[in-house]
Amino acid sequence: ILDRDGRIIALFAGQPEEADDWDEVTRQASEALSQARTKCTFADGRLVHARGNYPTQGVGSSFGGGSKRPGPIKNTVRNARVLADLCKHPAIRRIAGFGSVMLATYAPRVHLKMQRRLRLLYERYPILRLNFDNSIYPAAHFNFGPNAVCFEHTDFANDPINWCHVTALGDYDPVQGGHIILLDLRLAVEFPPGASILIPSGVARHANITIQPGETRQAFTQFCAGGLLRWVDAGFQSLKEFGERDPQGRANFDAELDEKTRTSVRYFSRWDELLEDLREAAKPNPSFPDLPEL
């Protein structure tokens, strides 16, 4: 999906063209989520929430919601074990890797921004771990279903200049329901099981169309909390701590926000410059003159 300036702002990635076994990968991933759902316990807020009426659980690294520093997403011991097993599942791992590759391929500047900051974060805090050895995303959510249909919402805690990777799972007719709706773009697109999309979920309102009675829908998502990257940019501290320890530095940081917001769209590559961006991103020390803060 291109904006009026030709920048790639969202991607309907579908499934890997070379993967003849993707239907089986999808089936195995869906079955794994169904089994995991019976093993997890869910607090009320994980059963009915702002995104929909379905059980969901997160895993990985995040920052926000009152926490004082980045850390693992909190889970019970039992749930943590179940989620760890899900992340080790070969089908889930393949889906996660596909999403990460699509981010690196179609949004190389965004990928580089996240890669540089997360590398510093993980070096400083060894307790933090990636969910997958083949994916850059620091966190994931498993939407267990059987009716994982999202209400209209924006994932405001996610990094706004980034793509959330979403893969639909389950058994439903994608012509009749399960579509992804991008309300600000006035788009409704068929979203079949096994397909992936990458959208700026932190700023783009999105939802799903309901599925038919008797059908099941699940989803696997990968994302990056904006707080993780801001923590690094602020010198490994919260913005509140930054202001207390260095008022002038915080003032300078805030003064640059408007300009950074105005120019942040430059992180999304133009379609006609994508190959050039990919070549630059592949260099040992890539740089983009229009993004000096990258």
Q: How far is CA 28 from CA 96, 121, 169, 173, in A?
A: 14, 33, 10, 18
Residue 87's nearest CA partner among 129, 56, 132 is: 132
pLDDT score at 262: 81
Residue 138's nearest CA partner among 59, 197, 67 is: 59
pLDDT score at 256: 84
- Other C-beta atoms lying within 10 Å of the C-beta of residue 199: 22
Question: Hey, what's the torsion of the CAs at 230, 151, 172, 106, to 10 degrees?
Answer: -30
* pLDDT tens sequence across 128-156: 999 999 999 999 999 998 999 999 999 99
CB within 8 A of 24, min separation 6: which ones?
none
Q: Is 164 left (phi over 0), alpha (psi -120 to 50) or beta?
A: beta
Helix ranges (H only) for the chain are: 22-39, 44-47, 77-88, 90-106, 108-124, 226-233, 239-245, 247-255, 257-263, 274-281
pLDDT score at 66: 73
Give the integer Cα–Cα distance in Å for 215 and 231.
42
- Other C-beta atoms lying within 10 Å of the C-beta of residue 252: 10
CATH architecture label of 11-281 = 4-Layer Sandwich (3.60)
Q: Which two tokens stand for residue 179?
A: 């579509």
Cβ(227)–Cβ(240) under 8 Å?
no
Low-confidence ranges of the chain (pLDDT < 70): none
pLDDT score at 150: 95
